[in-house]
Amino acid sequence: MITIPYLTALTTYFSYGLLFAFGQFREFFRKIFDWWRGSNLQGYAPICLGLEDFYIRRLYLRIQDCFGRPICSPPDAWFDVVERVSNDNNKTLKRTTQVSRCLNLGSYNYLGFAASDEYCTPRVIESLKKYSASTCSARVDGGTTSIHMELEECVANFVGKPAAIVTGMGYVTNSAILPVLIGKGGLIISDSLNHNSIVNGARGSGATIRVFQHNTPSHLEKVLRELIAEGQPRTHRPWKKIIVIVEGIYSMEGELCQLPEIVAICKKYKVYVYLDEAHSIGAVGKTGRGVCELLGVDTADVDIMMGTFTKSFGSCGGYIAGSKELIEYLKYSCPAHLYATSISPPAAQQIISAIKVILGEDGTSRGAQKLARIRENSNFFRSELQKMGFEVLGDNDSPVMPIMIYNPAKIPAFSRECLKHNVAVVIVGFPATPLLLARARICISAAHSREDLNKALEVFSEVGDLTGIKYFPAEPQKQQVEENRVKLE
Amino acid sequence: MDSTVSILANVVGATSNWVRSVFEFQFARAVIFEVNIGGHLFVEGLLLIVILFLLSQKSYKPPKRPLTKKIYFICIKMRVSKIMLRPLPQPLVCNESKENKCKEKFPSDFNRADECVQDFQEIDELCEEWAPEPLIPSITDDMKREPPVLESAAGPHTIVKGKDVVNFTSANYLGLLGSQELLNGTFTSNVEWQETCTTALEKYGVGSCGPRGFYGTIDVHLDCEARIAKFLGTPDSILYSYGLSTMFSAIPAFCKKGDVVSNLYIENENLPSTERTKKFTNALGHSSIFCVCTRFDNSLGFLLLQRLLCLEKANVSWDEILYTAKCERQLAYVNLGTSELDRLGHGIWDGRLIAASPNAPPPKTFMVATPNDEPQYIGVPFANVGTDVKINNPEIATCHQISLLLTLFCNLPFSCRDEGVHWGIQNGLQLSRSTIIYFKHNNMESLRNTLEKVTQENKQARKLRRYIVVEAVYQNSGKIAPLDEIIKLKEKYRFRVLLDESNSIGVLGSSGRGLTEHCKVPSDKIDIITAAMGHALATEGGFCTGNARVIEHQRLSSSGYVFSASLPPYLASATIKAIDIVEEKPELLVKLRQNIALLTKGLSDIKSLEIVNDPLSPIIFLALKQSTGSSKGDLQVLEDIADHVLKEDGVFIVTSKRSTLDKCKLPIGIRLFVSAAHSEADLVKASESLKRATASLLPAYD
């Protein structure tokens, strides 16, 4: 649970209040001008609703330059950020030809497979030549090539489940498969901070949706008991089935799921577990097999395992792994399998090769090194940030670490200052987080070297002092420990 | 003059003095946390007043619709009985011993603590008793169908099981896919295209490792968006990373609860009337689909009914069916065979006819269920059959007339759940939670009526956002939407149009710019155009294009864009190149059209299959002339044909399959995707092969 310092909460509210007030003031004049100019769309309701648009016009546009910065190189440890200029107070941004080489702390390139890889890239290009870039057909029609079959087998083996089904996009995996699994008369119990794709999938399914407090097994049990005893709303019939949906690593909090406790509760109450490993698969665990391996949960206890390939594997797409029957049923009924273009063969090949590297099947120990490196890097970086006095969320071993910023004015300041020092960070505000809990998110990669991280820490310390986001007192520097670390290197 | 100035000066001086005194008021000079607050408290106080004022404003609550009396009664009854039986206690944390917990909770009151323990045990028992359904239904053999595995690129020729086959399953309309060896070097544009992909792969790697907002924007994405906008002549466009997600993200971004969306309702309306009669008689001859529906649809009742009908068929009567329906107050589709109907006779409940048996004499008196009745039900073999059907068989005629009557009276919006648009759109509409009304497939008269009705009935309609959603070339039928007429209607009734151009970009129009060009409609008349790129452009992902405002709005409000990793950069480069090819090589379009015409001609004299699609559509859609009566049976027949053709002649074709979630009830058919890279010999081979296969598998027609 995030606890905001009282004073910070007050100032944050005040800042948003001020922004809102000025925004409304400007909206007032805008309305007058609009009325003056007249509209040629008589009889149509405005296509964008007032308040949605208000947020974009009056808040988002002011700091638009911090989001969607284009890059012109692979998202490796260092990348080229294209500079943009604006002539109309950030309303529109124009790309320039200038680029700046920045340290990348924003991409989900956990294992460093985003850049070209000595093992993967030649194979990917080979498969592009053999299979072309797309199949232009759904999996059930003519979109299944031998590479797709190989991929599904490979993923099932890697995850530790009997079978798997692969789709071309992670978001679609969640939002198209949940409606197949559960419908009316079913109950979905979802973590309160689950990803939007799960929320949309659950909404699309027609099942009743309840949430439990983020990552709190005791509350989950409470909710479960209450709901099983009560039955379906209105009719009070027993539920047909209940699915509990959790994520392995919460992408905005960097927290690891309390999987063992949750799985134990689910077993006790005979409900199904759906685990979304979008950020954890490949990134954590001794052999990169995700939170199940890290926390010692038997994959047989998790009924449905979902994950994406966008992050650790540096490709695109998503998978569902489960029992053979489950996958057979999904292949028969899932819209993403029946209607959507199958995953691009080179992307599929990238995943296969990446898994082979992780498992050491390429004949080297690069995979093991990468996994050791990301763990070491993330733990080092997290502890250093905490020492400096930043408010860092999340658990050890997780490569995602949000730094709380809170105040709206500090959001762009932090991002812009970091970029000036050639460090690219992601800042997250509303709609991805609650309005009050804006943060900067650091994603550590195995591709980062210790020098890279030290540089980042230096910059953060400086910018943190400048923007005043070190909400905790800094720990005194322990010179010796530092030296030992350097020696170990 | 002087006096006025001095008065003004006095006034200003007095005011400033007052303001200063306010600021210097003891309270205003408070020091909090060693910070001199100064005049801030004054401003903050003002803000507080504003906040309090805003808080005191009532938020709008939509008026609750009263439930019908009957249902309400049952609900109340149930609730009361529930409460009396089992008062639900506050849930407790279960890891500790329950006695301790309860004692803690009520330390002084032993009775209540005791009660609490009992409640606890009761919940334990309930949890113990509860048995969930299996996660998935049991797997039957027809679910296990494995698609053929391709051993090379999905070009016009591909390899299946080591054999070279002609591929009609890829929407590779312009022939960009496929390896050179199989094309014998006759087709060159895909070489450059492949090279572009390779260069991009080498430069950018495979994935983009982030959403567009968070360093997932690669310069090629921006180039690609600009290229698409330039190609289609629109101000701006936005890229999505997957074709399926384009529509279901774009629609909810613009339609919210309360907005009106008119969608396509597909029916066999486009068949000539004699055909329709045939279909109708067919349906009655084999099995009929009847539905009994009430407002509270719930699949449990459906299951119960199914069980009643399937397991204990011999004993069941209408009374029982209806009793179940009444008890469960459910929607239920009952699938009955003719023999079943013969036995059961007409279904009459409370004097209302809900199902008609084809062979029994028509009932003398009956009432027709109307939308205001509760429960609502309607028994129509083919909902909305139309009025101009010629009837040969008098017995069926009576039945048919009944159904017509029913159709006339029971124009229930919720019985028209047969959407023909593809699943991505259906899902998007569902997620948007807006009011959805369907009109008949490609039937402009129906669209006009629907629009008229919406505008007339709903006085609020003018203030709501209203959309018409259409597909340019329907994936489920191969028909082309009459855009010029839609535009006329749109302008008359002031609806916006959402057009899905997935199958028409790079195909229709003199230079491949899609349906807008084909119908000579300027693209700015269409408010939102979306398309998947996994068709003619032979990549993956999708895009949405329209005016700058529409696009900018999506960049922050469209979930599939904001919350998903961006399109792999090599696919964006490939798209740019593909558009270049479309522009540079108009001969591809000419070739594609020739091929479509050639194949249509070749297939037109197959006796047992009919061509459903529009003559210009690159999707050739073959439906059975004589349906077997059930979609499962149809699918089996068509699958057999497809398998036969693949095995015997090496022509790879597929049937259109439907997900269990898909609400489209259009007849299933064989779908052939024509490509410009197909040679004349390929097309002849395909049509000859299909002819042979249908002749041997559906001999009744010869």
CB A383 within 8 A of CB A453: no
Query: Cβ contacts (< 8 Å) between A181 and chain B: which residues?
Result: 135-136
Letter string b/e over residues B28-46, b meaning 16 or more CB atoms within 10 A of that residue's CB:
beeeeeeeeeeeebbeeee
CB contact under 8 A, B143 and A332: yes
CB contact under 8 A, A137 and B553: no
- For residue A407, pLDDT over 60 is answered with yes
Query: Cβ contacts (< 8 Å) between A209 and chain B: which residues?
Result: none
What residues have CB less than 8 Å from B622, skipping those under 6 apart? B603, B606, B609, B610, B611, B612, B669, B670, B671, B672, B690
Q: Quick one: pLDDT band at residue B83, thresholds 50, 70, 90?
A: very low
Query: Cβ contacts (< 8 Å) between A419 and chain B: which residues?
Result: none
Supply A126's token pair: 């080979």
Residue B695: what pLDDT? Answer: 85
Q: Quick one: pLDDT band at residue A355, thresholds 50, 70, 90?
A: very high
- For residue B329, pLDDT over 60 is answered with no
Neighbours of B656 (CB within 10 A): 25
- For residue B451, pLDDT over 60 is answered with yes
Residue A243: what pLDDT? Answer: 93
Q: Is B91 left (phi over 0), alpha (psi -120 to 50) or beta?
A: beta
Q: Region A283-288: what's the mean pLDDT?
A: 88
Higher pLDDT, A38 or B5: B5
Nearest CB among A81, A172, A314 relative to B207 is that of A314
CB contact under 8 A, B154 and A432: no
CB A349 within 8 A of CB A139: no
- For residue B369, pLDDT over 80 is answered with no
Q: Quick one: pLDDT band at residue B51, thresholds 50, 70, 90?
A: very high
Cα–Cα distance between B546 and B229 in angstroms, integer? 8
Closest CA relative to residue B636, chosen from B3, B64, B69, B140:
B140
Q: Region B362-377: what's the mean pLDDT?
A: 35
Tell me how close the Cα of B217 comes to any Cα of chain A, in angstroms.
5
Residue A147: what pLDDT? Answer: 92
Query: Cβ contacts (< 8 Å) between B145 and chain A: which residues?
Result: 332
Query: Cβ contacts (< 8 Å) between B208 and chain A: which residues?
Result: 75, 114, 310, 316
Query: Cβ contacts (< 8 Å) between B190 and chain A: which residues?
Result: 132
Nearest CB among B167, B241, B245 relative to A142 is that of B167
Q: Region A337-346: what's the mean pLDDT?
A: 89
Higher pLDDT, B65 or A31: A31
Cα–Cα distance between B150 and B142 in angstroms, integer? 21
Supply A114's token pair: 């985003």
Q: Region A374-381: what's the mean pLDDT?
A: 92
Tell me how close the Cα of A132 comes to any Cα of chain B, in angstroms.
6
Query: Cβ contacts (< 8 Å) between B95 and chain A: which residues?
Result: 218, 221
Cα–Cα distance between A86 and A303 in angstroms, integer? 50
- For residue B74, pLDDT over 70 is answered with no
- Give me the CATH code for the A120-358 domain, please: 3.40.640.10
Query: Positive or negative, the Cα torsion across B468, B472, B475, B478?
Result: positive
- For residue B282, pLDDT over 70 is answered with no
Interface residue of B206, B254, B257, B327 to substitute, partner A, most A CBs within 10 Å: B206
Comparing A447-451, B166-170, B189-193, the range with the smallest average pLDDT is B189-193
Nearest CB among B135, B147, B568 relative to A141 is that of B147
Nearest CB among A197, A240, A316 relative to B133 is that of A240
Residue A417: what pLDDT? Answer: 92
- For residue B401, pLDDT over 50 is answered with no
Q: Which residue has the tokens 């577990």?
A: A273
CB contact under 8 A, A17 and B51: yes
Tell me how close the Cα of B30 comes to any Cα of chain A, in angstroms.
16
pLDDT tens for each residue of A133-151: 888 888 888 889 999 999 9
Cα–Cα distance between B596 and B601 in angstroms, integer? 8
CB B528 within 8 A of CB B169: no
Q: Region B436-465: what's the mean pLDDT?
A: 73
Q: Considering only alpha carbons, which residue of chain B is nearest residue A134?
A: B539
Tell me how close the Cα of B604 comes to any Cα of chain A, in angstroms.
23
Higher pLDDT, B691 or B108: B691
- For residue A11, pLDDT over 80 is answered with yes
Tell me how close the Cα of A453 comes to any Cα of chain B, in angstroms.
19
Comparing A24-33, B275-284, B578-587, the range with the smallest average pLDDT is B275-284
Supply the ipTM of this predicted assembly. Answer: 0.90
Task: B382-386: list long-range contacts, CB under 8 Å, 24+ apart.
Answer: B382/B267, B382/B268, B382/B279, B382/B280, B382/B283, B383/B267, B383/B407, B383/B415, B383/B416, B383/B418, B384/B267, B384/B269, B384/B416, B384/B440, B385/B276, B385/B280, B386/B269, B386/B273, B386/B276
Letter string b/e over residues A392-403, b meaning 16 or more CB atoms within 10 A of that residue's CB:
bbbbebbbbbbb
CA angle A18, A24, A30 (to 5 degrees): 140
Query: Cβ contacts (< 8 Å) between B241 and chain A: which residues?
Result: 169, 171, 316
Interface residue of A171, A193, A415 to substitute, partner B, most B CBs within 10 Å: A171
Query: Cβ contacts (< 8 Å) between B295 and chain A: which residues?
Result: none
CB contact under 8 A, B216 and A75: yes
Comparing A100-114, A463-477, B383-397, the range with the smallest average pLDDT is B383-397
Residue B306: what pLDDT? Answer: 45
Residue B303: what pLDDT? Answer: 40
What residues have CB less than 8 Å from A423, skipping those under 6 apart? A102, A103, A105, A455, A456, A459, A460
Could you name the CATH architecture of B210-266+418-583?
A: 3-Layer(aba) Sandwich (3.40)
- For residue B332, pLDDT over 50 is answered with no
Cα–Cα distance between B511 and B525 in angstroms, integer? 19
Nearest CB among B169, B242, B538 relative to A340 is that of B242
Residue A151: what pLDDT? Answer: 94
CB contact under 8 A, A68 and B213: yes
Higher pLDDT, A9 or B391: A9
Nearest CB among B170, B215, B657 relative to A424 is that of B215
Higher pLDDT, B69 or A241: A241
Comparing A345-354, B25-34, B210-219, B686-695, the range with the smallest average pLDDT is B25-34
Higher pLDDT, A488 or A22: A22
- For residue B449, pLDDT over 60 is answered with yes
Give the mean pLDDT of chain B: 69
Backbone angles phi, psi at A152, to 5 degrees: -65, -40
Supply B205's token pair: 């790697």
CB A132 within 8 A of CB B179: yes
CB contact under 8 A, B465 and A47: yes
Query: Cβ contacts (< 8 Å) between B148 and chain A: which residues?
Result: 142, 144
Query: Cβ contacts (< 8 Å) between A335 and chain B: which residues?
Result: 244, 423-424, 427, 659, 661-662
Fold classified for A66-104+368-488: Aspartate Aminotransferase, domain 1 (3.90.1150)
Tell me how close the Cα of B496 comes to any Cα of chain A, in angstroms.
8
Give the mean pLDDT of chain A: 87
Comparing A421-425, B66-70, B242-246, the range with the smallest average pLDDT is B66-70
What residues have CB less than 8 Å from A324, skipping those under 6 apart? A162, A163
Cα–Cα distance between A172 and A197 in angstroms, integer? 7
Cα–Cα distance between B382 and B280 in angstroms, integer? 7
CB B209 within 8 A of CB A114: yes
Find the helix packing angle between A450-467 and A410-420, rounded to 10°.
140
pLDDT tens for each residue of B342-352: 566 655 544 44
What residues have CB less than 8 Å from B353, skipping those under 6 apart? B346, B347, B363, B366, B367, B368, B369, B379, B402, B406
Tell me how close the Cα of A386 comes to any Cα of chain B, in angstroms.
24
Nearest CB among B82, B138, B560 relative to A171 is that of B560
CB contact under 8 A, B574 and A133: yes
Comparing A440-444, B607-611, B682-686, the range with the smallest average pLDDT is B607-611
- For residue B134, pLDDT over 50 is answered with yes
Cα–Cα distance between B530 and B237 in angstroms, integer? 9
Residue A430: what pLDDT? Answer: 77
Query: Cβ contacts (< 8 Å) between A336 and chain B: which residues?
Result: 244
Q: Quick one: pLDDT band at residue A7, thresholds 50, 70, 90?
A: confident
- For residue A241, pLDDT over 60 is answered with yes
Backbone angles phi, psi at B232, to 5 degrees: -90, -5
Q: Region B443-465: what's the mean pLDDT?
A: 73
- Give me the CATH code for the B156-187+586-701 domain, please: 3.90.1150.10
- For residue A466, pLDDT over 80 is answered with yes
Highest-confidence segment of A427-436, B48-57, B108-117: B48-57
Ranges of each domain in chain A: 66-104+368-488, 120-358
Percent of chain A with pLDDT over 90: 36
Highest-confidence segment of A46-60, B76-90, B516-530: B516-530
- For residue B92, pLDDT over 60 is answered with no
Cα–Cα distance between B274 and B389 in angstroms, integer? 7
Q: Region A224-251: what's the mean pLDDT?
A: 88
CB contact under 8 A, A347 and B206: yes
Comparing A42-56, B9-23, B115-129, B375-389, the range with the smallest average pLDDT is B375-389
- For residue B280, pLDDT over 60 is answered with no
Closest CA relative to residue B638, chosen from B278, B145, B181:
B145
Q: Quick one: pLDDT band at residue B26, thresholds 50, 70, 90?
A: low
Nearest CB among B44, B132, B245 relative to A241 is that of B132
pLDDT tens for each residue of B497-511: 888 888 888 888 888
Q: Number of Cβ pairs closer than 8 Å across A and B? A: 412
Q: Region A437-464: what's the mean pLDDT?
A: 92
Query: Cβ contacts (< 8 Å) between B544 and chain A: which residues?
Result: none
Highest-confidence segment of B55-69, B87-101, B244-258, B408-422: B244-258
Q: Quick one: pLDDT band at residue B184, thresholds 50, 70, 90?
A: very low
- For residue B316, pLDDT over 80 is answered with no
Residue A307: what pLDDT? Answer: 92
CB B461 within 8 A of CB B467: no
Percent of chain B with pLDDT over 90: 5
- For residue A348, pLDDT over 60 is answered with yes
Cα–Cα distance between B226 and B576 in angstroms, integer? 9
Higher pLDDT, B272 or B100: B100
* C-alpha dist (Å) from residue B456 to A44, B47, B451, B493: 15, 45, 8, 10
